Amino acid sequence: MKLYYSPGACSQSPHIVARELGLPIELKKVNTKDKTVEGGGDFWKVNPRGYVPALELDNGQILTEGPAIVQYLADQKPDSGLAPKNGSVERYRLQEWLNFLTSEIHKQFSPLFKPNTPEDYKPIVKENLAGRFDWLDQQLAGKDHLMGKQFTVADAYLFTVLNWTIPMKIDLKQWPNVAAYVDRVRKRPKVKEAMQEEGLLPKEAQAAR
Ligand SMILES: N[C@@H](CCC(=O)N[C@@H](CS)C(=O)NCC(=O)O)C(=O)O
C-alpha cells in the first residue's frame, strides 16, 4: 500500500497507525500547495479533491478520508486492538470519537492555516477550539487514552491534530489532562518513528525525550 502524506498534516494519523500495526507502507510525499508528488506525479489524479491522506490499496483502488483509512488499516490486523471489532458497540464509540475529531477539532483548526482567513476571525476560531478542549479535558480525566487503557486509531488522530496547537500558539497547559495525554502519546516508539520519518523530530530531540 502507498500512503500519500504531507509532513505534520492529518495524514500523520494513518502513518502512525500503519507503524503501530507493523504494516509495510510506502510513503509518498505530497506538496499540497502545487499538488505534486515527490519523485514525480500529479496528486490531482490520486485524489481529485487535492488533499491528503490518500491510501492506494494493493489492488490500485484509492481510499480517502482519514477516519475511513485508519479503520481500514486497523481491520487488516483485527486482533491489534487499534479498532474494536466491527459491529460492536465499542466500534461505534470509536466512530463517535473519529467523527468528533474530524468535524469538531480537525476542521475547526483549518481556518487558522488558511492564508485568506481574516485575522480578526482567528480569535473566534481559537475560542471555539478551547470549548472543545474543555470537553476533551473532562473526557481524558483518569484515562490513558480516549477509549481507556487501549491505544486506538482515534488516539493517532487526536495526537496529530493536537500537535497543531504548537504552531498556532495555543498553550495546552490550560487543559492538564490533554497536555499529559499528548506527552504520553508522543513517547510511543511508533509515534516517534512516524514523526522522525516525516522530518518533524530530529534524532537528537528524539533521544532527549
Ligand atoms: N476530509 C478530509 C480532510 C483532509 C485534509 O483536511 N487534509 C489537509 C491536510 S490536514 C490537506 O491536504 N489540505 C490541502 C488542501 O486541501 O489543499 C479527511 O478527513 O481526510
Judge if the beta carbon of residue 44 lies within 6 A of ligand 1.
no
Q: Is the pTM of this model over 0.75?
A: yes
Tens digits of residue pLDDT in 47-102: 999 999 999 999 999 999 999 999 999 999 999 999 999 999 999 999 999 999 99
Distance 45 CA to ligand 1 centre (A): 15
Residue burial 1-23, b: 16+ Cβ < 10 Å; e: rest: bbbbbbebbbbbbbbbbbbbbeb
The number of beta carbons lying within 10 Å of the beta carbon of residue 30 is 26
Span from the CA of 207 to the centroid of ligand 1 (angstroms):
31
CB distance 137 to 165 below 8 Å: no
What tens digit of pLDDT does each residue of 151-170 get?
A: 999 999 999 999 999 999 99
Compute the distance from residue 204 Cα to the ligand 1 centre, in Å.
30
Q: Decide: 70 in ligand 1 pocket, CB within 6 A.
A: no
Write out the three cell numbers for 205. 530531540
pLDDT band at 209, cuts 50/70/90?
very low
How far is 147 from 201, CA to CA, in rounded Å? Answer: 27
pLDDT tens figures, 8-36 = 999 999 999 999 999 999 999 999 999 99
Task: Please give the C-alpha separations between residue 186 and each of 38, 69, 85, 194, 199, in angstroms, as whole numbers.
Answer: 27, 21, 26, 10, 15
